[in-house]
Amino acid sequence: MILPWTCALLLTPSLAFQGPSALEPASLEEPSDSLTLQHRADSLGIDIDGFLRATRLDSTGNSPVSDAALGTKIDHARLRFTGENDDFAWRIGVDALNSPDGLSLQDAWISLNAPYDTRVTLGNFRPPFITSGLLDADRLLFPIRARNGIFYSVRTPGVQAEGASGDLGWSVAVQDGVLDPSDPLGTLRVTYDFTGLGALPWEGALRSDFKSRFWAALAVSKENSLDSDLARALELHYVDGRYSLALEWMGYGSDYDREEGVGPWSPNIDGANSVFGERRGGTHPLSITATYMFVPDLVELAVRWEDLDDVRGDGAFSSGSPVAADADFDRRKLFIGLNYYVKGHDMKFHLAQVQESRDGIDDSDDFTVWGLGMSLSF
């Protein structure tokens, strides 16, 4: 297993959770409220935006973070082109640095309004499953996603329909599988906004306007190559003034994995690190994140605790070999971060530490990673 510790705060204008009514599915991202570098070609109706992300990573000697990911580097150089009119919207996004193969295609979709307040999307997009997977890299609190979201942050081609009725939103998608494109990946997500104020399109309490917000989501997903079982997700998000609290729980059916495991994971996720061979069948990982704004919209402390629930002997592939390891890791992670917002998530500095404890067969392999980074959206 490789910890994908890449740069300073991720998160983009992802989540189309707009307006005071229903929470809309987060798979179709909106351009960020960005800096003055943004250009709009009015004659063509095109918005051009993106972000750069740089980070410095260091770790203890027994860390699974690869040497290639350590040190100082720019790991994201994202450029997006977005357009819309009354009937449809479209986006094309590329990144020059988050793939070892060079320039990589990110979002590439066309979205069309349909009857009954429904929107249909065709193209390349993330599955509408869990918020920590739907947000882009310049809108997260920490240098990496919550582990639950890592597996669902990969974009594949497909079709999606989404809509809303009052405070209730829904989304359903059928896409090419992540592990095997010939096997379909199906996803259903339902959201509900208890306060009617809409979800914040990033992690934490930034720009909460000191109003209480509470929203929730339920989702199920099935990828045919992963035997016959389902993945299920429950999310609860609460923001109140200086505070925020988020919970993400997932349940994987006991037959969720392939008999030989699911690795190696491809394509590469979130920069120089990839997730290799994670086996999740029969596990119920939990992520809890809390934040506090020391100075409103300027300085935010964030703490995240994750329990991977990998205590059933499934473990992961042994490193570098497609041979299943009889591993009982019993892993837990504690993240502590401090964010300084110069212009919200569009320009911020980030300091963070993650400590992973292992109480299973390799309980002597606890490790710590430190990160210092900067994110600039334009």
Spans of all domains in the chain: 39-377
Q: How many CB atoms lie within 10 A of CB 314?
A: 23
Structure tokens at 200: 């914040």
What pTM value is reported for the model?
Answer: 0.80
- pLDDT at residue 181, rounded to an integer: 79
Structure tokens at 327: 């591993």
Rounded to 5 degrees, what are φ and ψ at 148? -60, -35
- Give 376's Cβ-side CA count (13 Å radius): 9
From its phi and psi, is residue 9 left (phi > 0), alpha (psi between -120 and 50) or beta? Answer: left
Q: How many angstroms separate the CA atoms of 51 and 347, rounded?
A: 9
- State whether residue 327 is helix, strand or coil: coil
Q: How many CB atoms lie within 10 A of CB 319?
A: 12
Give 69's DSSP letter. G
pLDDT along the chain (378 residues), means of 10: 31 32 39 40 73 88 72 88 89 84 88 92 96 92 85 92 95 88 90 94 93 96 73 96 95 68 41 48 90 96 92 46 50 93 94 84 73 90
User: What is the third-level CATH fold of 39-377?
Assistant: Porin (2.40.160)
Structure tokens at 51: 């972000």
- pLDDT at residue 361, rounded to an integer: 57
